């Protein structure tokens, strides 16, 4: 179920969009905001899949609302609803990376087609991101015994280090550091169980330069020292 945030001060338009998305198109859940201020609050709380906003509202206008949304997320698609006289205003909003703008009165077919196109593109983008992320995980696996930083990964896949870090959070629900720690401990446990390598050798092959640091992390995460773990595994 995709969540769509509708930011519109006219109740009749909000209701019409809600019916269109939830009952006519289906597969959507509408979150309603009657002002830009309320919209920002709900966007923070829900991080919806799509925003549809009026450009002229009492209080915080559409442009200010969009600029605040873009401070939180640059990826969420935004559709602007505007009157004919607001064309220049809507064009100014393009610099905030809006996906599309539609003129009032709203053409339901046009809006349906726009939303369908957005989610088809989002699906394609999602598949592309998944491929990129699999390449990232493979790189980590291949280099687990060495020092790995977000910068190393980013250079390998030609992406921004911050974006790579965000991918770990969005794709796995954990930070890059948490993932590396988990994978290194998995490798260490496998080596402790299946080989007679000394603890410092296991530490080195698992990507820890300092055996002491390795033993500290291992004890924190498993409640046992590497030697105790090995004994309990046999």
| Average pLDDT across the chain, whole number | 91
Paired strand residues for 52? 6, 79
pLDDT at 126 (0 to 100): 81
Using CA of residue 81, residue 87, residue 89, residue 93, what is the dihedral sign?
Answer: positive
Query: In whole angstroms, what is the distance from residue 141 CA to residue 229 CA?
Result: 23
Q: Between these two residues, 42 and 123, which has the higher pLDDT value?
A: 42
pLDDT at 56 (0 to 100): 84
Cα–Cα distance list, 90 to 55, 114, 118 (Å): 7, 17, 19
For the domain 2-106, what is the CATH superfamily, name and number?
A: Response regulator (3.40.50.2300)
Q: Is the pLDDT of residue 89 over 80?
A: no
Per residue in 155-181, pLDDT (tens digit) is: 999 988 988 998 998 899 999 999 999
Fold of the 178-233 domain: Arc Repressor Mutant, subunit A (1.10.10)
Query: In whole angstroms, what is the distance from residue 4 CA to residue 77 CA?
Result: 10
Provide the percentage of residues in the chain whose pLDDT is more than 90: 68
Q: Can you count the helices (H) and strands (E) in the chain?
A: 11, 5
Q: How many residues does the chain have?
A: 234
Name the helix (H) or strand (E) containing 174. none
Query: In whole angstroms, what is the distance from residue 86 CA to residue 84 CA?
Result: 5
pTM: 0.59
Query: In whole angstroms, what is the distance from residue 177 CA to residue 166 CA?
Result: 12
Per residue in 116-151, pLDDT (tens digit) is: 998 888 788 888 888 999 999 999 999 999 999 999
Provide the percentage of residues in the chain whose pLDDT is more than 70: 97
How many of the other CB atoms lie within 10 Å of CB of 215? 17
Domain boundaries, the chain: 2-106, 123-173, 178-233
Q: Is the pLDDT of residue 90 over 80?
A: no
Per residue in 181-229, pLDDT (tens digit) is: 999 999 999 999 999 999 999 999 999 999 999 999 999 999 999 999 9
């Amino acid at each position: 179920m995709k969540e769509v945030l509708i930011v519109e001060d006219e109740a009749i338009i909000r209701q019409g969009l809600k019916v269109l998305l939830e009952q006519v198109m289906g597969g959507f859940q509408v979150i309603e905001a009657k002002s830009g201020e309320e919209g920002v609050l709900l966007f923070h709380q829900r991080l919806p899949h799509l925003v549809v906003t009026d450009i002229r509202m009492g209080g915080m206008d559409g442009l200010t609302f969009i600029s605040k949304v873009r401070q939180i997320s640059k990826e969420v698609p935004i559709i602007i609803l505007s009157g004919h006289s607001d064309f220049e205003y809507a064009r100014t909003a393009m610099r905030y990376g809006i996906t599309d703008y539609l003129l009032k009165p709203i053409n339901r077919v046009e809006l349906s087609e726009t939303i369908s196109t957005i989610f088809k593109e989002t699906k394609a983008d999602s598949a592309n991101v998944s491929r990129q992320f699999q390449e990232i995980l493979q790189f980590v696996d291949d280099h687990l015994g060495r020092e790995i930083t977000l910068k190393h990964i980013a250079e390998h896949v030609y992406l921004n280090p911050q974006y790579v870090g965000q991918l770990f959070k969005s794709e796995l629900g954990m930070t890059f550091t948490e993932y590396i720690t988990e994978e290194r401990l998995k490798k260490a446990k496998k080596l402790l169980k299946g080989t007679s390598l000394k603890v410092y050798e296991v530490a080195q092959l698992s990507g820890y330069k300092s055996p002491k640091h390795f033993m500290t992390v291992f004890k924190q995460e498993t409640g046992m020292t590497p030697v105790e773990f090995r004994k309990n595994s046999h």
